Amino acid sequence: MSEIRLHDITGNRLYLNAEERAAFLAVARRQGARDRTLCETLHWTGCRASELLEITPARVDLAGGTVAIRSLKKRRDTAGAPRIVYRSVPVPPDYLDTMDTAHGLREAQRSRKRAALPIWPIGRVRLWQIVKRVMVEAGIPDAPHRSPKGLRHGFGINATVNGIPLHMLQKWMGHAQLSTTAIYAEAVGKEEQDIARRMWR
């Protein structure tokens, strides 16, 4: 049984819906370079907060249009040793342009030392504060989904609504088991209506 849930025990939604994701992105684009790119990265990649803080210039493929994210959930090989797993998530070209302009990625990638430094040298608490501030400004209600994890779940729901195959979403989100990813296929409310509408056409 998957430990991921889309609702808490009292039925509160744990993911941002399409309107909230759009509002979050609009407000994020009005922020300073560091905060804007941090929020956009969470929005476009669906990565965990801790995974975002490890992203370096070397992991952004400007030509290939992807961001390589190290999966931080504990994984073991057949001998029981920890395994390092990276996943490449495709992202929009305009996001990559913003990242390059804001953080000088092309220049940083020419220096082995700079290419290995985190793009956002901050802690998880500061990241959470930035995301919360942007969400408050975006009018997202004070509820369990107003968090970085709400963005991650929103990414999964959005991908499902837009017909992304579960095996591809599994790869992008870094899930070890397809059954974990399948929780996003259980979308409800407006998201479920959007999925059903495709069947009615």
Structural domains of the chain, count: 1
Q: Within a domain: residue 45?
A: yes
Of residues 198 and 120, which shows the higher confidence score? 120
Helix (H, G, I), strand (E, B) or coil at 88: strand
Question: What are the φ and ψ backbone dihedral angles of 197, each rounded to 5 degrees?
Answer: -60, -35
Average pLDDT over residues 174-191: 79
* Average pLDDT over all residues of the chain: 90
Q: Within a domain: residue 172?
A: yes
Instruction: Give the neighbor-by-neighbor strand order of the sheet with 66-71.
Output: 60-61, 66-71, 85-90
Helix (H, G, I), strand (E, B) or coil at 182: helix
Q: Within a domain: residue 124?
A: yes
Q: Within a domain: residue 144?
A: yes
Range name among 10-14, 49-53, 142-146 with the lowest pLDDT average? 10-14
Q: Within a domain: residue 2?
A: no
Q: Within a domain: residue 135?
A: yes
Confidence of residue 201 (pLDDT cuts 50, 70, 90): low
Q: List the end-to-end C-alpha distance of the chain, in Å, as a whole number.
A: 33
Q: What is the CATH number of the domain that holds 62?
A: 1.10.443.10
Question: What is the per-residue pLDDT across 93-107, written as a single tens digit (0 to 9) for each?
Answer: 999 999 999 999 999
Domain encompassing residue 34: 18-193
Confidence of residue 1 (pLDDT cuts 50, 70, 90): very low
Q: How many CB atoms lie within 10 A of CB 38?
A: 27
Question: What is the per-residue pLDDT across 100-156, written as a single tens digit (0 to 9) for each?
Answer: 999 999 999 999 999 999 999 999 999 999 999 999 999 999 999 999 999 999 999
Confidence of residue 189 (pLDDT cuts 50, 70, 90): low
Q: Within a domain: residue 171?
A: yes
- DSSP state letter for 114: H
Q: Within a domain: residue 24?
A: yes
Question: What is the per-residue pLDDT across 166-181, written as a single tens digit (0 to 9) for each?
Answer: 999 999 999 988 888 8
Range name among 11-20, 58-67, 110-119 with the lowest pLDDT average? 11-20
